Amino acid sequence: MATFAGGCFWAMQECLIELKGVHKVISGYSGGSKANPTYAEMLSKTTGHAEAVQVYYDPQLISFEQLTKAFFYAHDPTQLNGQGPDIGPDYRSIVFFRSPEEYNTIRKIITNIDSSGIYNKPVVTEILPYQMIYGAEMDHQDYYKKNSWDPYIRNVSRLKVMKLREEMPALIKKEYLN
């Protein structure tokens, strides 16, 4: 498993489910202190959590490093407390680690991104030890697929999904490539 927060979980869930070796992605809330938060509580910005995704994957088909690189391509890791039109700490960028090896991998990727000049600002993604993720309500699961008509999906989420497909085509499942 891997857990990431990178803005609205609708786009992040779709970006990561499209990767080879990823079997399931659950939208939820992580990084805060409130047990079992609701979406309404998240909007109040009082839970400490960020919208996050839990990724279930086969490490024989995709490594934690490849998955983490995809996460960094799927959003802007230089934007503090928000992503595009979504502002606030509940949309912040976080990678959760479960071992010292994962922590070191995350640090290496961030160092490489910062030194590469991909972005004109430094990465501000938090690196936190994984503690818990609380699943979001069912209407937030697979929202991208179920609501392609939604203006937010068409104008915000789709751009992130298309960017990841373009940047990492070798990791995208065949059925998602045009």
H helices present in 117-157, as ranges: 143-146, 151-152
Q: Which of 83, 108, 102 is nearest to 93 (CA)?
A: 83
Terminal alpha carbon distance of the chain: 28
Longest dimension (CA), the chain: 42
Q: Kindly provide the b/e burial profile for residues 14-38, where b requires at least 16 CB atoms within 10 angstroms of the residue's own CB.
A: bbbbbbbbbeebbbbbbbbeeeebe
| Residue 15 among the catalytic residues | no
Helix count and strand count (H, E) for the chain = 7, 8
Selected catalytic residue, list 8, 17, 67, 95: 8
The single-letter code of the amino acid at 118 is I
26 with 3: CB under 8 angstroms? no
Q: Which residues are catalytic?
A: 8
